Amino acid sequence: METYPKDIYTEPDPDADTLANLGPLTGMAGIWIGERGLDVNPKADGPEKRAFIERIELHPIDAQTNGPQILYGLRYRIHILEPGKVETFHDQVGYWLWEPATGAIMQTLSIPRGQTAMATGVAAADAKTFRLEAVRGNTTNGILSNPFLEYAFRTDRYTITVSIHDDGTWSYEQETLLIIPGKTEPFRHTDRNKLRKIGEPTLNPAAQAEAEAKAQAEI
């Protein structure tokens, strides 16, 4: 059971510089591309492997407070194509969040198939690998799906493991456990990719304002 303070209302003053307070998420800030992604998804006649190209933008947001709780984070958008095609293969938006006081990491995600989830984990501030999980039915790290997905491809569990590499790249492996009518075993829908940086993150508004004020003072 978590131990929470009696005062759930008083908000502390967070640091304006989100990039300096992202803990294990620090190595993910920026604009990235991955050109060797692999998706293994279910089809009527068995698993299908599909290559994909992925672009991810992760930009810092101003710190968020829930009473005494402070969260620093990155807003992200993922856009995925199959090689040689122009139509979107996968689109996803959400936030990666870090709570320095507890080491909690959260990933919120929403996709335009009528599905949303929040995965959670715990890691040290200098961790280079961390794992998050969402479980259907949980109220703090759960999964919600539209009625058809709940019937045909019910998602019981989602996990993602992120690894930050010394060469400045990062990679992930994720698994979505699907329950499909007529199948005796759950289907393990997997995705993985390695990302290289192609652009720097945009500063969060509070940090940008501080930088502009400092530059103006130096004139």
What DSSP letter does each residue of 18-71 carry, written as one string?
GGGG-GGGGGG-EEEEEEEEEEEEEETTEEEEEEEEEEEEEEEEEEEEETTEEE
Strands 187-199 and 170-179: antiparallel
12, amino acid identity: P
Note the pLDDT tens digit of each residue in 137-183: 999 999 999 999 999 999 999 999 999 999 999 999 999 999 999 99
pLDDT value for 2: 66
User: CA 166, 23, 128, 174 torsion: positive or negative?
Assistant: negative
- Report CA torsion sign: 146, 177, 90, 59: positive
